[in-house]
A and B are shown apart, each in its own frame.
Chain A
Amino acid sequence: MNPDVLIAFVTSLSVFDFVKWAFVLGLLVYMVFAVIIVKQVGIMNEALEDPRNPIVAFLGWAHLLLTILLIIVSIVIL
């Protein structure tokens, strides 16, 4: 790769571009936590069966989906 092209690319990036990808990176890390929650809720639902367990599982999945949605929104609009 020509170094001039790389330098031109880096210098063309604004502060907000860095902020955008920092946001996206942070949200990707956050998504790992969301996945852990879904997994943990599944394990705990097996440990203790209760009629309200599906509601809790739904909240865990909703949280994961909202996180993915926010990552997409961040990439698109920022």
Chain B
Amino acid sequence: MTDVYDSSHPPLKKNPIDLETDRSKEWWKQLIDDVLEDVGLTPGSSVMSTFCVRPGSHFVNQQEDEEIVLLLRAHPVTNLGWILLTLVMLVAPSFVLSFGILTLPGKFIFVGQMTWYLVTFLFAFEKFLMWYYSVFIVTNERLVDIDFDNLTFRNITHTNLNHIEEPEMITGGFVRTMLQYGDIFVTTASENPSIEALAVPMPQKVVNVISRLSEELEKRRERGQ
């Protein structure tokens, strides 16, 4: 009589049901890989960290099965105005003092100069923060728009990819065409009529990624997955 139980076979590391569950948990990773491959994007950051693909960063309220696909900031060239103004502000005291207009004691001039440089730093730092923290995030589930408007006000908008109607891209003009950046507007069916990303690099690729992710999620929903 043959043995019913043969202990020579190595035991399964995991129950098949568990393995299936693991695979279903990872479906979105495969989805992101497929979408990025179709669009021709590879993980990494470019254009001075304004176009980050799968950056591995995290944001507030991120869910467990959610991953950042794209993290976008405004193109670096949009900072040119305040950088030039900062440079002017830096040389302004030397320029004014060279004319000998101010007839104040030296210690007042010194403290005044230091205060001016501190204000200049504050101006530049605030502008940098507004650029650095104003991000547009595309995840495998939703779009997140974080706006840092000024020192005391910030705005975070979420839109589920299932709720978007149509992503739209607007670009034009010599500089925008040459440097490949533009605005993206996504119309939604939710309470927020639209969500926008202004002056982001490679807008056509971003729209492509959003459209494909949305389509894939819609297909899965129709299949009841």
With contacts A19-B108, A46-B60, A49-B59 taken as known, whether A37 is within 8 angstroms of B118 at the C-beta atoms is no
Question: Which residues of B (111-141) have their CB < 8 Å from a CB of A?
Answer: 111-112, 114-115, 118-119, 121-122, 125-126, 129, 132-133, 135
Q: Report B-chain residues with C-beta under 8 Å of the C-beta of A37.
A: 122, 125-126, 129, 151
A78–B126 touching, CB < 8 Å: no
B154–A44 touching, CB < 8 Å: yes
With contacts A48-B57, A59-B125, A63-B122 taken as known, whether A77 is within 8 angstroms of B151 at the C-beta atoms is no
Q: How far is the CA of A7 from the CA of B133 in the complex (A)?
A: 54
With contacts A37-B125, A78-B107 taken as known, whether A73 is within 8 angstroms of B114 at the C-beta atoms is yes
Q: How far is the CA of A78 from the CA of B148 in the complex (A)?
A: 38
With contacts A33-B151, A56-B132 taken as known, whether A23 is within 8 angstroms of B115 at the C-beta atoms is yes
B126–A48 touching, CB < 8 Å: no
User: Does A70 sit at the interface, judged by CB under 8 A?
Assistant: yes
Closest to B135 in A: A48
With contacts A48-B60, A48-B146, A63-B125 taken as known, whether A78 is within 8 angstroms of B111 at the C-beta atoms is yes
User: Does B58 sit at the interface, judged by CB under 8 A?
Assistant: yes
User: Does A9 sit at the interface, judged by CB under 8 A?
Assistant: no
A23–B60 touching, CB < 8 Å: no
What are 12 of the A-B contact pairs (CB < 8 Å)?
A23-B115, A37-B126, A43-B154, A44-B129, A47-B60, A48-B135, A56-B129, A56-B132, A63-B122, A66-B121, A70-B114, A78-B108
Shortest 3 CB-CB contacts between residues of A and residues of B: A49-B58, A47-B60, A44-B133
